[in-house]
Amino acid sequence: MRMFLFVLAGLVLFLSGCADRPELSPSAYGTVLKALPTLPAAEEPFPFPMEGDNDHQHCKFDDLDFM
């Protein structure tokens, strides 16, 4: 009898919150893309932003850069 109650309680807990459905309807998510769009501007070269006294040509790092 005690084992039956443990199994019954376990089944109730297991099955009570398991619903294989989304919380929102699919229309609430908006437009779903099947593939990412191709942007022509992403193919063009762009200038690398250089600011401050950073040495971008030789890429020198200190140990403090990784902390």
pLDDT tens digits, 9-63: 888 877 776 566 667 787 888 887 888 888 888 888 877 666 656 556 667 677 7
Q: Please give the full DSSP string across 3-64, using - where no structure is assigned.
A: HHHHHHHHHHHHHHS---S-SS-GGGG-PPPSSPPP-GGGTS--PPP--TT--TTTT---GG
d(CA 1, CA 67): 59
Q: What is the pLDDT of residue 53?
A: 61
Whole-prediction pTM: 0.27
pLDDT at 38: 87
